[in-house]
Structure 1
Amino acid sequence: MAKIFIVEDNQQIIRNVTDELSKWQHSVATVDDWQDVTGEIMATQPDLVIFDITLPSFDGFYWIQDLRKHSQVPIIVISAADIDSNVMHAVAAGADDYLMKPFSMTVLLAKVQALLRRNRQEGNATQVDWDNNYFNTLTNEVQNERGQIQLTPTEGALLQVLLSHRNQTVSKATLLEWLWQGGKYLNENTLNVNISRLRAKLAPLQLDRAIRTERGVGYRLVTTDE
């Protein structure tokens, strides 16, 4: 059972999502104070957050960016189908997956379960070593002799894909497919933003230059002996 926090002001959607998640014994919390969404999420300590974009106070982009200052909890964004740019901006702000309205509850549940599995990494090795660096796939932490940094689930998944193909170029199309089911509503700029964010996170460990850009093709994670 997981704890899901829903940031949505449409009561019918809240009821429908709650009913579906409850069938799988997930518990649900919602917003009481629209001026303190981040505070309520942090107090609840959920396993996953579902975010709408259009909200009563600040929009979803604001709250996602604010939440990311304090937490790496997995985030799924739901957005109106006629606003494709919302998806790109939300993922760039730190969301891990997206769903367009109107959506099927079955599809939402599948995305929730998949993201929870990704975050927990059940049954998989929890540590990947390369050179003198260590990546914990369970906690999304990277460490070496220079220190330790915390990645979001999407940043962790991105690093894991690059590590599984170390010293090989991974195409942008492959990364979009792996992380966002083909990126139907995204463009390469969103992927570039996430790569930039990952590099910035890795910089204190002097690993930012380990991710090379193969112009027009994709990205490659290199080892020190290359």
Structure 2
Amino acid sequence: MTKVFIVEDDLAITKEMIKEFQKWRYLAKTVTDWDRVVEEIQDWQPNIVIMDITLPTFDGFYWTGKLRQVSEVPIIFVSAAEMDPNAVRAIATGADDYLVKPFSLNVLVSKVQAVLRRTQKTMQSLSALNFEDYRLNVLTNELTYQGKAVKLTPTEGIILKLLFLNAGKTVTKTQLMQQIWQGGQFIEADVLNVNISRLRDKLEQVGLRNQLVTERGHGYRLVSANEN
């Protein structure tokens, strides 16, 4: 059964979320100790996390950063703050999607289902893809090269998978947003840009950064070492 962990300190909102998820036969629970948020998430092993920004002790950006050190579980931010720049910061911290309050519970469930669909689709696809001497494990979102390994978030893994599958060809921003965020709804281009920037930083660790080329006004292309 799908498990949703809710990191939200407004009890009324949390209760409504839990009630809505129960309608979809999802198990849902929330934080009991605000000093042990990451530990509670790890102990319960949810399929997805709903993360508010304004929280007791530390904010959602802090907890997302801490969680990303030990887990790649998908995270959806919810906040009363405006989409920009908080959405960009949330994605940069490690979130997979963002939703602004007030929101319809139906929209929240749709976002959860969209993130879970693309995560499960990745898990059910080819276990590994190769580009030159680089190997991407799409089950673990781990990129390896000559004994070095770098761990990607689920969103970064999907982006790199699309680039691997279309090596040498331009993948447009529209194609990326449609594939990653189920049609690109509720997502701004800046959010994709942040994911690309974060991916480039990780690719640098294995010497692949310069082979991810930006095609101005179009999208991105993964090129061979000799072409670059």
Same fold (TM over 0.5): yes
**Paired residue for 1:141?**
142
- Once the 2 structures are TM-superposed, how far is the Cα of residue 76 of structure 1 from its aligned partner? 0.5
Give 5+ residue unaligned stretches, structure 1.
Answer: none
**Paired residue for 1:76?**
76
**Paired residue for 1:37?**
37
SS in 2 for 1:114: helix
CA deviations on 1:13-49 (whole Å, 9 max, x unpaired) are 2112112222333222211121222222222222210
CA distance in 2 between counterparts of 1:16 and 1:4 reads 13
CA distance in 1 between counterparts of 2:41 and 2:138 reads 24
CA deviations on 1:141-198 (whole Å, 9 max, x unpaired) are 222323222210111111122223321223334434443454756353x433322321
1:206 and 2:203 aligned? no
Q: Percent identity?
A: 48
Any conservation in 1 of the 2:172–2:218 contact (CA below 8 Å)?
yes
Given the two structures, how large is their TM-score scaled by the length of structure 2?
Answer: 0.86
CA distance in 2 between counterparts of 1:184 and 1:43 reads 31
Correspondence list, 1:177-196, <5 A: 177-180=178-181, 181-182=183-184, 184=186, 186-188=188-190, 190-196=191-197
- Once the 2 structures are TM-superposed, how far is the Cα of residue 77 of structure 1 from its aligned partner? 0.8
CA distance in 2 between counterparts of 1:147 and 1:85 reads 34
- Once the 2 structures are TM-superposed, how far is the Cα of residue 89 of structure 1 from its aligned partner? 1.4
Given the two structures, how large is their TM-score scaled by the length of structure 1?
Answer: 0.87
Any conservation in 2 of the 1:61–1:93 contact (CA below 8 Å)?
yes
Q: CA RMSD in A?
A: 2.3
1:127 and 2:128 aligned? yes
Any conservation in 1 of the 2:213–2:222 contact (CA below 8 Å)?
yes
**Paired residue for 1:25?**
25
**Paired residue for 2:97?**
97
Any conservation in 2 of the 1:85–1:185 contact (CA below 8 Å)?
no
